[in-house]
Structure 1
């Protein structure tokens, strides 16, 4: 297990992670640090626990919104796939009907 140091609101914290996940954890810490610093700018210094809580709640709110948008997009994709299947079915039907007419015309000319 790897251990790295991350900085949040100007303070270092030792954090353990799986080997190979160090860069990912550093990136996550940067995102969290940005949120905590934003809360600190907006509300002033509240103490680390409260700053961290507010930062975590802001990130949770963003995640909640993103999940809602993802769910709506998945519904739309499903709708569009069904629509595409319906249109493809109609196109196949039209091509089969046209082929049948062409065969009849060719047979009547022979």
Structure 2
């Protein structure tokens, strides 16, 4: 089982992962490090444990938003199933809007990782 060194907020953590998951784990570590830097930049230095809890809450909030959007999409698609072309078109338009929003988020994250 490979072990990777991840730098989070200036400290190195050795984390084990499944074979073939190294790049994915590295990207996750970079994202976590980026969020830690953002937090430190906005509120200043705080204890490591408090910072990691706050970053975990920020990431959980992002996950909650995405989960809510996914639920909304599933509901819209389910409701549009038998209501004719108009309802289906509205649902597809909403899906397209949410996907565009998610794509902008992913692009922003990728850009932030590239500049960090």
Deviation of the 1:20 alpha carbon: 0.6
Q: Mark the structure with the bigger radius of gyration.
A: 1
Q: TM-score, normalised by structure 2?
A: 0.69
Is the partner of 1:52 in helix, strand or coil? helix
Give the Cα–Cα distance (whole angstroms) in 1 for the partners of residues 82 and 37 of structure 2: 46
Give runs of aligned pairs for residues 3-18 of structure 1, distance below 5 A: 3-18=3-18
Alignment correspondent of 1:33: 33
* 1:50 and 2:50 correspond: yes
Give the 5 Å matches for 1:73-88.
73-84=73-84
- Structure-1 separation of matches of 2:12 and 2:84: 53
In structure 1, the gaps of 5 or more residues are 88-110
Q: TM-score, structure 1 length as denominator?
A: 0.72
Task: Tell me the equivalent position of 2:101.
Answer: none
**1:19 aligned residue:** 19
For this pair of structures, how many residues does the alignment match? Answer: 86
SS in 2 for 1:12: strand
The structure whose RCO (Cα within 8 Å, separation 6+) is larger is 2
TM superposition shift of 1:84? 4.1
Moved over 6 A (4+): none
Shift of 1:34: 1.2
The 1-side partners of 2:71 and 2:25 are apart by 26
CA RMSD of aligned residues (A): 1.6
